[in-house]
Chains A and B, each alone.
Chain A
Amino acid sequence: MRDPDLAPATSDSSPVLAVRDLAVSFRTDHGTVDALREVSFEVAPGEILAIVGESGSGKTVATRAAMRLLPPNAVVSGQIRLAGGADVLEMTDRELRSVRGATASMIFQEPSAALDPVYRVGDQICEGIRIHRAVSRSQARARAVELLEAVGIGEPAAKARAFPHQLSGGQKQRVMIAMALALEPELIIADEPTTALDVTVQAGILSLLRSLRDRAGTATVLITHNMGVVAGLADRVVVMQNGSIVETGPVNQVLLSPRHPYTRQLLQAVPSLARVEDSDQAPVREPRKDLALDVVNLNVEYRSGLGRPPLRAVRDISLRVGVGELVGLVGESGSGKSTLGLSVAGLIRPVSGSIRLLGRDMATIRGRRLDQMRREIGMVFQDPRASLNPRMTIAEGISEPMIIHRVGTKAERTARVIEMMERVQLDPGFRHRYPHELSGGQRQRVSLARALILHPKLLIADEPTSALDVSVQARILELIRDLQEQLRFGCLFISHDLAVVGELAARTLVMRSGQLVEEGPTREVLVHPQHPYTRELVAAVPVPDPVAQRRRRELAEEAGDLSLAGT
């Protein structure tokens, strides 16, 4: 680690990264596609610059170009200087290798994909050091352990000998950061470093990045779509849309008084806990009498191989969803929330407990009758790419449930498909297209149409918006709310995002390690959480307001700090 006293002053000196008139286009089957149009920005030493934008805005392309990591079909023009050196775009491969990792290094979104599973993490850190520096193996090892300690990994010497699969997601991302820091680069490019992580883990990684900047003065380019992350970490913000920069400025100015309409639109689309606090929604304690779903003492287990005890994914959970009620189910990865959804849909057989759908016990009916019951359940999944059969047209996909349950004639089915497509605000003219011709948001609309075509009494929505851009997410959430009012189905809305649930659900359940830890009216759960875990969750959600974020951070630090707890 660089000595803090020797860290460069943030003021003068030349920028660590200077990008001028950078334009990138890709040659594809469909001709040339412009990804970036004449983009210019700079990063000062010790500065954290956030680049925000939705998918396709060019934020990743811009930073990959800075390391010359673009695929071979990219056509690049402009100028990129790292630490006042030569133009990256003109470097020979040898020069380029000496810069990569040493002057600037990268952190990626998915730490489990970026680490090599067959090498020990300590050796992976050493490799980068030994490529660039003439040090002995044992010196490199010592340095690796030192780095692991610096990124807040407990027992660094032991963990250096671990393989990636023996570490948690948060630990893996810390290892990635350690690798990025190994050669004391002047610039770290972090591409969505916390997107794949749970909120409580994310909070720790963000405060690590912040403290690294404070301690070592490493400049950081942070690519993210999450305005809350920006608010908590960045000094300056660049907002990108369709390959161009639409706004730049200090974080407070961009987030609190945005100038460009697109920035405003982005900020408005971000679901926010603050809005839950302000809402005057009447608290709903118990669902009404007519229950769509009544789950009592449900237990679900997964077998985990001979001799080992089964994994108890859902433990003794009871929940109710009234007809026309939207219940939010919140939990982090591995909490069992999706398993609960699947067993309610009758796709995983529970070990014990009962699931009643419209008053009928799902466990006692089988065969044909069970298939009939399935008409009353619709499901929507997270990944818009995987949730539609690529070989069926939109119309075929949406009418599948009617064909399965032999509903209507062909003409009636077509009429209903068109009606349903209009309800989900999709152009019925799309009905002969294939899923790959639609955008992510449009595909989720198709999924919704398919799930609701038979007017089921229960919709199970498993993270239906987490793979979407915020502005698309906002519209899909609005659509779900409208549809629910029109069609009066009960909805179990599963999400890891407290703010999303806060916007939508009347009642909220919080799950952790297969158990319900808290349950109540959404506003009470999110504003006055009772259980310590819920409190931790709520505290970890980044809010898109730099001032509030700083206040919360200070409070958390006073209260003993969850950041370096080792996740």
Chain B
Amino acid sequence: MVAAATARVGSTPVKEATPWRRFRRRMIRNRFGMGALLVLFVLVLAGVLSPIVAPHPPGDANFATVFQRPGTVGYVLGTDNLGRDILSRVLYGIRASLEVGVLAVLIAFVVGVPAGLLAGAFRTADVIASRGTDLLLAFPFLIMAIGVAAILGPSLMIAAVAIGIGAVPSILRVMRVETARIISLDYVTAARAQGAGTLRILSHYVLPNAASSLIVRATVIMPGAILGESTLSFLGLGIQPPMPSLGGMLADAQQYAEQAPWMAVVPGAAIVLICLSFNTLGDALRDALDVQVVSRD
């Protein structure tokens, strides 16, 4: 009887892929997105493996080989004013940039997501969090970073913390808006009516449904963080010499712009490539993920 009754019901089940499969299909079809993903994969691999793949130790000065042009045998991308291999230094620099970027995003998430959840769910928390972010946004990021570096001494970790804190408002606001939106939906009301507590609603209902917005947000923050690191290192407040960083290399190149333009071009291109890839990937993810949030009926 049940089988017969079931057969009667509604239209035939819609044969559609799971959200994951649909996401994957949309993603694969996006050529720019896939290109960006590929570039990032290569960059991450190069950064992670830099101690192995770099042809020279990054700090090795050699006064016999200063200002070698790109294309020189043994120094594919040339050397700098101290005769250090630029390719090796860029590889290490990419590694440092990615480290700072990932750390900064992690810090922003660890602070911003819980704060945004609370702000979206509770009125009092919202007042505190919103005024806090207003304050943070009103405070010039560089001044704050300089202050932190001055007090604690410049380092990769300090740069990451400063940049991460600077990115908290962005995550917090996305999380707050998503929380407020999702909490007002019928399925949350239904869960509350059946006795689900706030903790369960936030963890099982709000977070999974906000995940795609957060992922997209992360890919937007990432290039900002990497640029921020370059800026700090350029100003001498980030990664300290002799450890190479992309921003630091740009700072070194300034004096020799006439003599050896490649000293600036190579790390500059690396920064552009990383940031462009993340931005493109972010766009592609947004396109691929958005659709699934607004499912067709």
**CB within 8 Å of B: which residues of A?**
29-30, 55, 342, 345-347, 371-372, 374-375, 377-392, 400-401, 404-405, 422, 425-427, 430, 433-442, 445, 447, 450-451, 454, 460, 472, 475
Q: Does B200 contact A (CB under 8 A)?
A: yes
Q: Does B197 contact A (CB under 8 A)?
A: yes
The interface stretch among B19-27, B171-179, B260-268 is: B19-27
**B209 engages A381 (CB within 8 Å):** no
**A404 engages B295 (CB within 8 Å):** no
Q: Which residues of B contact A441 (CB under 8 A)?
A: 9-11
Q: Which 10 A-B pairs have the closest CB atoms?
A: A374-B195, A436-B295, A391-B208, A381-B186, A371-B195, A387-B186, A386-B186, A441-B10, A379-B193, A345-B193
User: What's the least CB distance linking B180 to chain A, in Å?
Assistant: 15
Q: Does B187 contact A (CB under 8 A)?
A: yes
Choose one: B8, B209, B297; the contact of A391 (CB below 8 Å): B209
Q: Which residues of A contact B259 (CB under 8 A)?
A: none
**B195 engages A426 (CB within 8 Å):** no
CA distance A437 to B292 in the complex (A): 11
Choose one: A377, A385, A388; the contact of B193 (CB below 8 Å): A377
Return 21 A-B CB contacts under 8 Å, by A number: A29-B25, A346-B193, A371-B195, A374-B194, A375-B195, A381-B186, A389-B191, A390-B19, A390-B292, A391-B205, A392-B204, A404-B197, A404-B200, A422-B2, A425-B6, A434-B19, A436-B19, A436-B296, A447-B190, A451-B190, A475-B10
Output the nearest chain B residue to A388 by Cβ-Cβ distance: B187
**B187 engages A389 (CB within 8 Å):** yes
CA distance A515 to B186 in the complex (A): 25
CA distance A383 to B11 in the complex (A): 18
Output the nearest chain B residue to A370 by Cβ-Cβ distance: B195
Q: Which residues of A contact B293 (CB under 8 A)?
A: 390
Choose one: A374, A389, A447; the contact of B205 (CB below 8 Å): A389
Q: Does B31 contact A (CB under 8 A)?
A: no
Q: Which residues of B contact A442 (CB under 8 A)?
A: 9-10, 13
CA distance A380 to B194 in the complex (A): 11
CA distance A347 to B292 in the complex (A): 29
Q: Which residues of B contact A405 (CB under 8 A)?
A: 195
Residues 48-77 of B, flagged 1 when their CB comes within 8 A of A and 0 if not, give 000000000000000000000000000000
CA distance A187 to B144 in the complex (A): 65
CA distance A48 to B188 in the complex (A): 44
Supplied contacts A441-B9, A475-B10, 12 more A-B pairs, CB within 8 Å = A342-B189, A347-B189, A371-B195, A377-B194, A380-B190, A385-B297, A390-B19, A400-B196, A401-B195, A436-B16, A438-B13, A454-B194
**A29 engages B187 (CB within 8 Å):** no
**A475 engages B193 (CB within 8 Å):** no
Q: Which residues of B contact A388 (CB under 8 A)?
A: 187
Q: Which residues of A contact B192 (CB under 8 A)?
A: 347
- Mostly helix, strand, loop or mixed at chain B's interface? helix
Q: Does B5 contact A (CB under 8 A)?
A: yes
CA distance A475 to B13 in the complex (A): 17
**B190 engages A379 (CB within 8 Å):** yes
Q: Could you tell me which residues of chain B, from 195 to 215, have a CB within 8 Å of some CB in chain A?
A: 195-197, 200, 204-205, 208-209
**B195 engages A439 (CB within 8 Å):** no
CA distance A451 to B6 in the complex (A): 20
Choose one: B11, B197, B200; the contact of A439 (CB below 8 Å): B11
Q: Which residues of A contact B8 (CB under 8 A)?
A: 425, 475
User: What's the least CB distance linking B248 to chain A, in Å?
Assistant: 44
Q: Does B127 contact A (CB under 8 A)?
A: no
CA distance A558 to B2 in the complex (A): 53
CA distance A422 to B5 in the complex (A): 9
Output the nearest chain B residue to A400 by Cβ-Cβ distance: B191
CA distance A436 to B22 in the complex (A): 12
**B190 engages A381 (CB within 8 Å):** yes
CA distance A342 to B14 in the complex (A): 33
Contact status of A379 and B9, CB under 8 A, knowing A29-B25, A434-B19: no
**A430 engages B193 (CB within 8 Å):** no
CA distance A355 to B195 in the complex (A): 17
Q: Does B185 contact A (CB under 8 A)?
A: yes
**B9 engages A445 (CB within 8 Å):** yes
User: What's the least CB distance linking B19 to chain A, in Å?
Assistant: 6
Contact status of A437 and B13, CB under 8 A, knowing A29-B22, A425-B8: yes
CA distance A63 to B190 in the complex (A): 38
CA distance A438 to B297 in the complex (A): 8
CA distance A255 to B199 in the complex (A): 54
**A30 engages B195 (CB within 8 Å):** no
Q: Which residues of B contact A439 (CB under 8 A)?
A: 10-11, 13-14, 297
Contact status of A29 and B26, CB under 8 A, knowing A381-B189, A401-B194, A434-B19: yes
CA distance A102 to B297 in the complex (A): 34
Q: Which residues of B contact A379 (CB under 8 A)?
A: 189-190, 193-194
Q: Which residues of A contact B297 (CB under 8 A)?
A: 55, 384-385, 439-440
CA distance A450 to B191 in the complex (A): 10
Output the nearest chain B residue to A447 by Cβ-Cβ distance: B190
Q: Which residues of B contact A422 (CB under 8 A)?
A: 2, 6
User: What's the least CB distance linking B22 to chain A, in Å?
Assistant: 7
User: What's the least CB distance linking A551 to chain B, in Å?
Assistant: 36
